[in-house]
Each structure stands twice: as C-alpha cells, then as structure tokens.
Structure 1
Amino acid sequence: MKKKIAIIMGGYSSEYKISLKSGNVVYNYLDHTKFEVFRIHIFKDRWVYVDANDKEYPVNREDFSVQIASEILTFDCIFNAIHGTPGEDGLMQAYFRLLEIPQTSCDYYQSALTFNKRDLLSVLRPYGIPAAESYYLNLGDPIDADAIIAKVGLPCFVKANKAGSSFGISKVFAKEDLNAAIENAYLEDDEIIIEAFLDGTEVSVGVIKYKGETKVLPITEIVSDNDFFDYEAKYEGKSTEITPARISEVQEKKVVEMARKAYDILKMTGYSRSEFIFIGDDPYMLEMNTTPGLTEQSLLPQQAGVAGISLSQLFESAIEEALAKKG
C-alpha cells in the first residue's frame, strides 16, 4: 500500500508565496506511483487540504486528519515545505512530535535554534565556527548609533533576527541611515542582529541526510548584481549562482568541514543550507536554513543536481529518512 504524504506549505510569514512554490514543486516531482501525495495549505486563518481541483477541505488540528465525504484521511508522513514560521521555527515540528507523525525536517529544538540567527551563531562559536562581529537589539531598546558603529563599523548589515528570504535586511553605509534600517527590520521581527560587513566570497553549502548518510552537496558561489544577496538577487534573477564554486581546494576543504561540523554538532536531520563568507581562506558563518527553497531554481536543488541527485530522488530520500526515524 502506498504511503500517504502530506506536503505542508504556505505559513504565516512574508515567505508564504515562496513556500507555496516549493511545496508545489515537491508535489509535482514526488513519484505518485510510490506515494499518495496531498497538498496542505497552512495559513493563520485556515489549515486546508487542497485537491486537484483546488477545492479546500478543513484539517482537523486535533489529529491532523481531513474528512472527505465519509472518509477520514490520515497521513503516514509530513513533507515540510514551509519557510519561516510555523514550519521553520519549531512549531510544526513540536506539533507533529506530539501527534507522533514523522516529518521530513529537523526536530523542534534544532529548528527553533537555527531560525534564531543570534542564538545559532552563539551556540556554534565555542566550537570554532566564527561569525561576524555583531550587535543585538530588541524592540523598545534605546538605539545608540555611536555604540553600534563602534562595535560593528560601517558599512554594516541590519537584519531581522528570525526571518528568511532577505526580508527585513538592509546594508547601511552611513550613520544617518541606521534608524530607517532598524525600523525596516522591526517590520519582520521584534529582535534585530546588526553585523559587521564581511568583504569576501559568499558561498552556500547544502548538507543533507541522504540514504542514511550525512552528505555535503557541491558548494554554490553567489555573485549578486545588487549590493548583497537580497530578495531581488535570490528570486528575481539579480544574481549569478555558480555550482561548483570557484574557490581554492583549501577553502573548499575548510567550508565543507565546517558545514558538516555544524550539522553534526546540532544533531541535525533533514535538509540544511548554510551561508558563509570567506575572509582569506577562512569561512565565517552567516546563518543556517532548515527548510530551504525547493523550486527548480533554488540553491539546494541546484546543488543536488550537480551531485547527480534528481529532485525526485532528493524528495523521496527525505521521506525515507523521516519514516526510518520513526522506526
């Protein structure tokens, strides 16, 4: 009997449109001869199963079941394609843990930790994984521009602490622009991280569990047409993504070891995609994404393709890993 797979997509954040694209790619590429596949939209105002005719059926949040006429539909595994809250910050992971339904992303603690850039970098720093000099603000804190600049210098990056897809991020070149950048970040989150500008080659490194093993995928070099890898660069073609990256053997060895080390230290499962910037030969971590984009143009699928892993294989492996964890 075919396993019933629910692909959750959407979410509560600014990333919901990207998540819907990712979820539909998973739906289209999963082998429907092996799995029964169902699209589940998760929004603040409704959780619904969306059938092939776009008819919506409510999800019972008590047990994540769906009633269709007289039939009660339940699922063997959840494929998590939600970027941002509640799919990338631990909420859905904890929910499915309580319901004892396997799901494809990492566990709830790892998800919550990695979604919080400040906490992630603080946890990894003692293990020898460096990050840019940083300054933290919470909503309501006094803003001391001189103290911020003394700590991180100019230019600097102002980022929403818990947001993805470059929402709420600004590159600040002058002191008088700092307040506007902070207000922009607060539109996405009530916590902010302000980081020193690292001037070097930016790379993205995918690490996944594949056929029972931790696998580091080919590295992608990111060359943005804009000042940095912002939303336009990521999703509107304003960047060049080169896989494998044009980096030295020394740089490749260091960043592969560091990405794998971070994955193992955190006891990760499922997909991860970590961003680094090289200063000389040394990689500095920016962040780790645990439900990265899964469209044909997204970085992790590009990296998997270079490694000889098709989208169907990539998605099927995530389900197999999740089902094996339950066993």
Structure 2
Amino acid sequence: MKKNIAIVMGGYSSEYDISIKSGNVVYQHLDREVYHPYRIIISKEKWFFLDENGKEFPVDRSDFSIQATEKIQFDCVFNAIHGTPGEDGLLQAYFELVGVPQTSCNHYQAALSFNKRDLLSVLKPHGIPCATSYFLDKGQTIDEDGIVDKVGLPCFVKANRAGSSYGISKVYKKKELKGAIEKALTEDDQVLIESFLDGVEVSVGVITYQGQVKVLPITEIVSENDFFDFEAKYLGKSQEITPARISSIKEANVRKLAAFIYKVLGFKGYTRSEFIFIGDEPYLLEVNTIPGLTEESILPKQAKAAGISLKELFSSAIEEALP
C-alpha cells in the first residue's frame, strides 16, 4: 500500500518563498509508485493542503490530518521548511507529540543547530575550530570598541537565528557596526559577530542514506560578491564547484570533521555544513538541517555527483524516518 506523505513547506520566516520552491521540487520528484504526496503549506495565517487544482483544505492541527473527499492521515512528513518553525525544532516537537514521523533531525538538534551561538558553544569543547565570536542581544549596549578588540576588522555581523544569509553584513570599519547590528536585528533579537576568516570556503553535505552516514562530494564556494550572501546564493553571483578544488589533505580533514559533527550531535536526515580553511584546517561556520532542495541547490548537486538521483535522495529520507 502506498504511504501518504505530507510535504510541509512555507514557514514563518523570510525564507518562505525558498521553502516553497524546495517543497515543490520534492513533490515533483517523489516516487508516485510508492508514495501519495500532499503539499501542505504552513504560514502564520493558516495551514492547508493545496491540491492539483489550487484548492485549499485546512489542516486539523489536533492530529495533523486533512479532510478532502475523505479524512487523510499521514504516514510521514517530509520537512522542507527553512527557518522557523521547520528548522528550529518547533515542528519537530509538534510531530513527535502527535505521533507522525518526519524526515529531519529531532527537535533538540534542530533548535541547537538553528541557534548559531549555542551550536558553536556546544561544539567548542569537542575541539571544533570556529571563528572568534561576540554575542549581542536586542536592547544591549553596543560596545563598539569591545567588539573590535575581540573579533577585529573586518568582521561579520549575523542574525543568530536566520538562514539564507538574511541579516548578514561584512563590516570593515567600526562606524559601520551599528547599522549592521540594526540590520541583523530585523531578522532576530540575537546577534552573532564573528572574526573574518580568510580562506577557501566549502559546503559539506552529510546525510543518512540507506542506513549509513554518508558524506557527499564537497562543494567549493567562490562568490562574485564580497562574501557568500543572498545574491551569491540565489541570484547566480557565485560559482559552486563540485567536487571542490582542494588538496587531498583538506578533503580528508573536512570530511572527517563534518561526519564527526553529524554523529556527535545525533543528527539524522540531511545536513549541510559550511567551513573555511585556514591552512589545512577547516573552521566551522554553521550547520543547516533543512538545506535547499531545488535542482540548483548545493546538496542535490552533491547528491547527483555521488550518483544519487533526487527520487532516490527523497525516498531514502522517508524510508529512514519511517518506523
């Protein structure tokens, strides 16, 4: 019997439109011989099933079911929501409570990885190299001299809990800090300020595939802009080279580190981690637990380089999630 699969997409953040694109790619490529896919749109205003004719049917949040021609309950949720509530643990906890398996990591791991400064704090005792950081909360006095003394210039000012490079700035002068912090605060009430790491940037996909933790071919990021910002990620202002043009030593080091992070934090499903090399040593920038899933996104390209089709990639995530 075919399994009913809810593909959740949308969300409450600036990444809503990107999530819709990811979810529609999953919907397009999911194996119809094995699964009945349903597009479930989640927004602040409403949760609903969108059928092929564009008709909306509300989701019953008491058990995450829908009533179309008949009541439909789901065997599994494919989570394609970038940002809150799909990537920060809220939906994971909800699905756990209503007893529906889902494809991404569990709620604690999602909440931890979505909070960049908490993630770095947890990983540092394991010896994971990271940039020097300065933390700032909304309403806190901005000590420009203290920031520069700790992280130096240039530095990066980021929204602590946001993705797709929303709310990020590269700051060269002390007088630019206040504006960059204000920009970051439009996305989150916590700000992470990090020292600039000058080196080759790579993106490493780690997934559970056919029961095994698998590190995908590594992607080198070459931005046409000053850094890998929104334009570079989504508007073609970068080169994403897979496999990365790095030495065998660098490749071995970053593959080992990415797999270690995945295992030590108890991840499942897909992750995509970003690193910058200082010499041969990879420094962790962040971990994404709901990476982009369009044909142009990094992780699907890495899977393709590994000989894994989108249908195989998406099917494996569901089969891993099912009890």
The two structures have a TM-score, normalised by structure 1, of 0.98
Q: 2: distance between equivalents of 1:67 and 1:221?
A: 46
Structure 2 counterpart SS, 1:195: strand
Percent of matched pairs sharing the same residue: 67
Structure 1 stretches of 4+ with a deviation exceeding 4 A read none
Match of 1:62 in 2: 62
Structure 2 counterpart SS, 1:223: strand
Q: 1: distance between equivalents of 2:61 and 2:188?
A: 26
Match of 2:13 in 1: 13
Q: 2: distance between equivalents of 1:200 and 1:186?
A: 28
Pairwise CA distance, 1:15 = 0.2
Match of 1:271 in 2: 270
Match of 2:84 in 1: 85
Pairwise CA distance, 1:32 = 1.1
**Aligned AA for 2:17?**
K
Pairwise CA distance, 1:100 = 1.0
Q: 2: distance between equivalents of 1:308 and 1:317?
A: 14
| TM alignment of 1:95-110, pairs within 5 A | 95-110=94-109
Match of 2:281 in 1: 282
Match of 1:52 in 2: 52
Q: 1: distance between equivalents of 2:90 and 2:143?
A: 34
CA-to-aligned-CA distance 1:74-122 (integer Å, 9 cap, x gap) = 1000000000000000000000001111100000000000000000011
Q: 1: distance between equivalents of 2:159 and 2:280?
A: 28
Match of 2:73 in 1: 74
The total of aligned residue pairs comes to 323
Pairwise CA distance, 1:294 = 0.1
**Aligned AA for 2:210?**
K
**Aligned AA for 1:121?**
L
Q: Does 1:37 align with 2:16?
A: no
Structure 2 counterpart SS, 1:151: helix
Q: 2: distance between equivalents of 1:165 and 1:303?
A: 18
**Aligned AA for 1:136?**
F
Of residues 198-207 and 119-128 in structure 1, the stretch that sits farther from structure 2 once superposed is 119-128
| TM alignment of 1:169-184, pairs within 5 A | 169-184=168-183
CA-to-aligned-CA distance 1:221-268 (integer Å, 9 cap, x gap) = 000000000000000000000000000111001000000000000011
Pairwise CA distance, 1:33 = 1.7
Match of 2:115 in 1: 116
Structure 2 counterpart SS, 1:199: coil
**Aligned AA for 1:245?**
A
Q: 2: distance between equivalents of 1:259 and 1:127?
A: 13
Q: 1: distance between equivalents of 2:247 and 2:124?
A: 24
Match of 1:292 in 2: 291
Structure 1 counterpart SS, 2:162: coil
The two structures have a TM-score, normalised by structure 2, of 1.00
Structure 2 counterpart SS, 1:62: coil
Pairwise CA distance, 1:68 = 1.4
Q: 2: distance between equivalents of 1:288 and 1:191?
A: 17
Q: 2: distance between equivalents of 1:151 and 1:189?
A: 22
| TM alignment of 1:286-325, pairs within 5 A | 286-323=285-322
CA-to-aligned-CA distance 1:42-86 (integer Å, 9 cap, x gap) = 0010000000011100001111011114x1111000000000000
Structure 2 counterpart SS, 1:264: helix
Q: 2: distance between equivalents of 1:128 and 1:142?
A: 31
Q: 1: distance between equivalents of 2:118 and 2:253?
A: 23
**Aligned AA for 2:104?**
S
Structure 2 counterpart SS, 1:204: strand
* Two-structure CA RMSD over aligned residues (Å): 0.5
Q: 2: distance between equivalents of 1:249 and 1:66?
A: 51
Match of 1:262 in 2: 261
Match of 2:248 in 1: 249
**Aligned AA for 2:91?**
M
CA-to-aligned-CA distance 1:111-160 (integer Å, 9 cap, x gap) = 00000000001111111111000100000100010000000000000000
Match of 2:166 in 1: 167
